[in-house]
Every structure is written in structure tokens, then in C-alpha cells.
Amino acid sequence: MEVTVSCCQFEIKKLNSFSAFEKQVSDTFEQVPLTSDYVLFPELTTLGLLTSFDHFSTFALKDYRKLTDFLDDYKKLFSSLASERQQIIIAGSTLEEEAGEIYNTCFIFEPDGSIHRHRKTHIFPGEAEWDTAEGDALEVFEIGPVTFGIAICYEIEIPEINSIYQQKGADIIFCPSYTFTPHGFWRVRHCAQARAIENQVYVIHCPTKGNREGIIYPGHGNASILSPCDLNWEANGVVVEAKENTKVITASLSMDALYDNRQDGAATTVKDRQRRKELYTIGKV
């Protein structure tokens, strides 16, 4: 079985309205093949909408919460696109409010109108001034042809999260990210590759890009679709990687190659981690 995945290298832009954001999204989809099963956008996909406020120049970091004003329109837009295109859209993340708390939430849109979500469980220290709360669920999603997990940026740097996803049946981990420095990008990228190797899964890494505007930090990095570094794939584990000005990358991923790798690969890390798990108790000598 093959699964086709598209990863959208979405850019932070100055926007004067939600309609301008909608056009940016539509323009991006023009480069997404209709044959893709899954389409991924980056963390805080809606960030440019902050610039649509007349008084944006006076905003402080706590005003990131104003992204919640656009949540209904965001849901309507991506739900409509998922239905029209008959694709599963993992629409990056945006901010949502519930019971007075603000969450960095990744929304998943199905063609039938169903909407699912994953709230970021580990807030990166640099996000503290955004005043976002942490989610408490590590669920996998059996939507479309495979089971997958969502690791929002810093979550890919927490090995336990992704190990849990694999143990719950995930074959793909989607990683929307937003990193403020090249160092941050490479931390996430290297960890995404490590998670692919140690869990024998595909990892789809989708960073937000763009220059600084007011309180909006610059976004760094290039999108990539990653595999375990084993004989079924390229030696460096990179299935495809975006160039600087690329908007969308797409790849067909063999699930059979992944399953074979878990049984007979040069490095069967998933099996071996289970085989010697009695050694992993803290304090074991």
C-alpha cells in the first residue's frame, strides 16, 4: 500500500483581512495534487492574520491570543477545502480558547466534515509569553489509509511522545513546526529524523517560514518528508526536501516497505526496544 502526502511550506505574510489569508491558502493548494491522501500545514498557520488588526504595531506577545478571533473562519475554510478536494487536511495549528485557557491546537479536517484536534502538550520555553496552556492527550488518529500522530514542534523533541504514538499504531508522525532561529529549526529537524529511525515511522516536518513583523518572530527552515535511515530508502533518510522557494512537496510513501523494515531491516529498533525493555528501569546497572 502506498500513501501520498503533501507538505505545504507556508509563509508568514502581512495580511489585511481573512480573505487575503484565504487566497494565500487557495494559492498554495493549486500546487497540491488531488491524489494526495494527506495535506499538512505548519504550526501557527494563521499567524499572519495578526497583522490585519489596525493596531497591530502596539501589540505585545500576549496578544497572540487574538488569533482565536479567526478560529471559526479558519475551521470553515479548511473544512470546505477538505470536502471539495476529498482530502484529509492537517491544517497546521492555530490558537483556540476554552474555559479561559488558550491552546496551541492542530486541527484535522476530514472530507465528510468531521473535525479532530490535538493540543500541544509541551510548550516550548520561548512560548511562555504567549500564555498558552498545555494539552493533556496523546492520541493517534485512525483517519484515512493509515494511523498517525501529531507532534507540534517541541513535541518531536520529546522521545516519549512519539514512542507512545508508535506503540498505539502510528505509521506516520506529522510535525507542524515554527522555530525562531536556525538552531531551533535544526533541533526539530534532527529530532524528526531521530524519531523516524527509533520508531521506524515516516515523519513529515512542516515549518512556518517568513520574516519578522512586529511581535511575530521570523520562521526558519525547509519542509521535509523523512524515513528511517535504512536500505528501503535513501541513506540520509530524506524522501524529499523543499528548496528555499518551494511551496509544496509531495511524496508517495510505501507502507509495505515500512512494515518490512520493522521485521527485517538492518536496524529493527522497534523490536529491539521491546526485547530489552527490562534494562530501561531508572537506576538499573
Catalytic amino acids?
43, 120, 153
Q: Give me the DSSP letters along 164-194.
A: HHHHTT-SEEEEEE--SSHHHHHHHHHHHHH
| CA 225 to the chain's CA centroid | 11
Strand-by-strand arrangement of the 141-143 sheet: 141-143, 146-150, 172-177, 202-207, 224-226, 238-241
Residues linked to residue 40 through DSSP beta bridges, in sequence order: 7, 90
41 close to 8: Cβ distance less than 8 angstroms: yes
Best CA proximity match to 26, nearest among 85, 69, 70: 85
Q: Give every CB contact of residue 195 below 8 A, 6+ residues apart in sequence.
A: 151, 156, 159, 162, 173, 201, 203
